[in-house]
Structure 1
Amino acid sequence: MTPRVSVKAFLAIARTALTAPPSKRQTPLTFVVGNESADLDSLCSAILLAYLRTHSPPHTLHIPLCHIPRDDLSLRPEFTSVLRRAGTSPDDVINLSELPGAGSLSPADTRWLLVDHNALTGQLAQLYSAQIEACIDHHADEAKVPRDSPLRVIEKRGSCASLVVAQCRDAWDALSATSSSEEEEGARAVDANLAYLGLGPILIDTSNLQNADKTTKFDTDAAASGSSASYERKAFHDEVANLKEDITSLSLRDILRKDYKEWEDAGVRLGTSSVPQDFAFLAKKAGGEDALAERIREWAKEKDLGLMAVLTTSSDDGKFKREMLVWAQSEEAVQAAKKFEKQRSEELGLSPWNNGTLDVDGEGRWRRCWAQANIKNSRKQIAPMLREALGA
């Protein structure tokens, strides 16, 4: 691999390796994949980590994989914005639609490095869980990655991209140091492209480094290390944040699937959707609270969920707020949801949303919608609470 290849060229090389005929494919293939919500942190961290690992000894090609099908990329204009600054586009990234089936690519011929999660979920988990070799993550440790893995980093950060930058800082510096004078201008351009891949999610996940509950010294240091990119930090953050939060053109189904993750514990499938607008916005868009509830029910049915959680964030007059809806649709899920409410209401500062107009209790169904006073807790903390209530 030639040092300082552009991000766009790197993605083309990775695609060529993946799509080569089985008889000419060099195996094992090493994949870097983010979590199935495929938020900006997961998507950018996977590309950044794959690039830097590929350009570091022993120079094994790492293929970055977006954990969504190609059609879902259109739901993430914020990712498109960051990719543009990184000198590439969504057409260049590799996604689930391009992953060969097990009949063409044996799981035994793959190796997996997880970023922004430490346990595979969804369809990938069914085939490739045994091939996980490493992870870089900032979520709760699910003990799925072997303790003796050569790379196993699970630490608290506002953004997983901060961990990637820190872990690969020496490799990044070494690349810059090996550039000849003739290559220097191109090297600076590639450095700027890579910096945007790290800066985008770091700034979004920490609210431009202003969210005291999320921002750590490591996030601030990582953002500073990417300052070689010529950019105005607030303008960059605001551009990407506005694209991420503008869901006015999306259907309710697309809103619920844009940032979606699921798990299965104790025989109950839990699905969670994170939404960057409040329930008043969603109800208005749906045509009323009953219509909103029906859209959520339809999505839960489509995903075959026993327990569904919708977690919202929004800002009114500059004041950040969170709301949450939990909907149980089986007896086991109802018991778990009631346990969650009893154990976590005080901790999370839960109070009825809109006087309980979205609440339901009876006939094997249970639904609660709350305002969440404790805004420190996001899905990163709430999903484990729900899973614990299920008996995970």
Structure 2
Amino acid sequence: MSTPSLKLFLGKAKKAISTLPSSSPLTFVVGNESADLDSLCSALLYAYFRTNTPPYTLHIPLSNLPKADLTLRPELSAVCRSAGLSTSDLITLSDLPRDSQTGKILLKAEETRWLLVDHNVLTGPLTHFSKQVIGCVDHHEDENAVPQNCSPRVFAKCGSCMSLIIDQCKDVWSSLDSKDNETNASLAAVAMAPILIDTTNLTSKDKTTDWDLKAAEFVQSKISDSTQIQIQRSEDGSGAGPFDRKGYYDHLTKLKDDIDSLSYRDILRKDYKRWSDGGLSLGISTVVQGFDYVLGLKGDDEGKGKFLEALKGWAEEQELDIAAVMTVSKPDGVFTRELLVWGLNKKAVKVLKQFVKENGEDLDLNKWKGGELDESEGTDWRVCWRQNNIKHSRKQVAPMLREAMKESSRL
């Protein structure tokens, strides 16, 4: 079977949306709303391989973010260039048909089917389609929202969801024409990127699992036998060379960690997730630099005030009861996590204090700079810590916070 290119596949998928109504339900594959590299790439490749699996039903890869937010992800642009794509080829929330006045998505739920990757509960503007979920491949905790009779229904702990996608689709990939080096290189560029990023180039002892090692080995096998396969790593597309795993990882990491040109609002929304539980709304932004670095972006004297003002504004914009920021950085080569939480009303404050009581010891929380970012005023409560238990990322901290929210609703 001849291997279709990713670019042609995306063009066909985009056309299917633009020619609605359709005679049969549209099938979407979508990642989570933080729209990180793992979610975006997993949705793209899983949709591609499912489309090329009997009965060859078109699966539309939906990037779970507005088109304007693509500019916040230069690492994605680099992956796209390596795959012979542009970010303009991707299908985003902005491409879905909407009411011109209300902005409401016009797709009828019953006219769609949804496969979830890298999450297992639809959120935000896609919540409306929750009853149309037909399958899930995820490496997060199972929240039991995906029906047990769905197929696939895959949950496994690993560094990158892409590793599970490769396990699910390696036979399909192998059945495609292996002589098409250009397409294999494109697929490999998309597949390898999130695996490397999410496992620190397969070196993280806390994140890397056998799933990730086997997936990376399989993807590597698709490119190692051909010197014709090129992975572009430079910003302008020049300087392409044979695939260099470390070079690819280093290039993507440098782009991902560069937030110097972003506003504080953009920093907070670049990698952001929102949940509602127990009658409260929680939003967590993950930032790829520590608070010292972030506050210093706008000047040592003004950075603190401007950052906190931006965070309060973002919380109001998102209608949050609890706003949280998690940082991950390597100052002086030491992997570091920090956590800031901000309860914006009396009930939210109660939840956060319960969260600290139940999880503070496990997270090994120590006040950040003696409480420099802390404040208790009126019904607000804000506190920032250095999180010494670095094993717990947002993947673990978010469920802790959400459980505290659920407990408050039962009291």
TM over 0.5: yes
Measured after TM superposition, the shift of residue 104 of structure 1 is 4.4
Q: Is the 8 A contact 1:110 1:131 kept in 2?
A: yes
Q: 1:258 aligns with which of 254, 270, 273?
A: 270
- CA 1:21/1:362 → structure 2, altered by over 3 Å: closer, same or farther? closer
Written as runs of structure 1 = structure 2, the 5 A alignment for 1:351-370 is 351-370=366-385
Q: TM-score, normalised by structure 1?
A: 0.95
Whole-angstrom distance in 1 between the partners of 2:383 and 2:60: 42
User: How many Å apart are 1:38 and its aligned residue?
Assistant: 0.1
Change (3 A) 1:40 1:103: closer
2:26–2:111 CA contact under 8 A, matched in 1: yes
- Percentage identity across aligned positions? 50
- Aligned counterpart, 2:16: 17
Superposed CA offset, 1:304-331 (max 9, x none): 1000110001111211100010000011
Q: 2: distance between equivalents of 1:374 and 1:353? A: 14
The residue type equivalent to 2:295 in the other structure is: A
Aligned match for 1:49, one of 38, 46, 49: 46
Amino acid at match of 2:216: A
Q: Which residue of 1 aligns with 2:319?
A: 304
1: distance between equivalents of 2:395 and 2:373? 24
Corresponding residue number in structure 2 for 1:121: 123
Q: Partner of 1:226: helix, strand, or coil?
A: helix
Q: Which amino acid aligns with 1:26?
A: S
Who is 2:112 aligned against?
Answer: 110
**Aligned counterparts of 1:34 and 1:249: Cα–Cα separation in 2:** 26
1:386 aligned residue: 401
Instruction: Tell me which amino acid in the other structure corresponds to 1:301.
Output: E
The answer for the alignment partner of 1:371 in structure 2 is 386
Letter of the structure 2 residue corresponding to residue 59 of structure 1: Y
Distance 1:339 1:59, change over 3 A: same
1:26, 1:232 → 2: CA distance? 45
In structure 1, the residue matched to 2:55 is: 58
Q: Displacement, 1:377? A: 0.5
What CA distance in whole angstroms lies between the structure 2 residues aligned with 1:244 and 1:120?
Answer: 25
Contact 1:3 1:55 in 2 (8 A): no
Deviation at 1:344, TM superposition (A): 1.0
- Structure 2 partner of 1:97: 94
Q: Which amino acid aligns with 1:77?
A: P
- 1:309-348 map, 5 Å: 309-348=324-363
Residue correspondence of structure 1 range 154-173 to structure 2 within 5 A: 154-173=155-174
Change (3 A) 1:307 1:103: closer
2:76 — aligned with what? 79
How far is the alpha carbon of 1:169 from its aligned partner? Answer: 1.0
**What residue is the counterpart of 1:147 in the other structure?**
148
CA contact (8 A) 2:96 2:105 kept: no
- Detail structure 1 runs of 4+ shifted over 4 Å in the superposition: none
Residue identity opposite 1:292 in structure 2: F
| 2:215 maps to 1:199 | no
Q: Structure 2 CA distance, aligned partners of 1:295 and 1:119?
A: 28
Aligned equivalent of 1:268: 280
Aligned residue identity for 2:189: Y
Residue type of the partner of 1:16?
K
- Counterpart residue type for residue 252 of structure 2: V
Equivalent position of 1:34 in the other structure:
31
Distance 1:104 1:368, change over 3 A: closer
C-alpha distance in structure 1 between counterparts of 2:313 and 2:296, whole Å: 18
Q: Distance in 1 between matches of 2:113 and 2:337?
A: 38
* Structure 2 gap segments, 5+ residues each: 99-103, 224-241
Q: Secondary structure at the residue paired with 1:168?
A: helix
Quickly say closer, same or farther: Cα 1:39–1:103, change in 2 above 3 A. closer
Across the aligned residues of Structure 1 and Structure 2, the Cα RMSD in angstroms comes to 1.3
Q: 1:189 aligns with which of 182, 191, 211?
A: 182
Per the alignment, residue 260 of structure 2 pairs with 248
Letter in 2 for 1:43: L
Q: Secondary structure at the match of 2:373?
A: coil
**How far 1:189 moved relative to its partner?**
1.6
How far does the alpha carbon of each residue in 1:283-323 deviate from its partner, in whole angstroms, 9 at most, with x for none?
12242322221111111111110001100011112111000
SS where residue 330 of structure 2 aligns?
strand
How many Å apart are 1:218 and its aligned residue? Answer: 1.2
TM-score relative to the length of structure 2:
0.90
> Would you say the 8 A contact 1:158–1:206 is kept in 2?
yes
In structure 1, the partner of 2:251 is: 239
Residue identity matched to 1:49:
Y
* d(CA) in 2 for partners of 1:103, 1:215: 38
- In 2, the alpha carbon distance for the partners of 1:257 and 1:291 equals 16
Using the alignment, how far apart are the partners of 1:79 and 1:3 within structure 2?
27
TM-aligned CA deviation for residue 281 of structure 1 = 1.3
Separation in 2 of the partners of 1:296 and 1:70? 23
CA deviation string 1:68-98 (max 9, x = no partner): 0100000000001111111111010000001
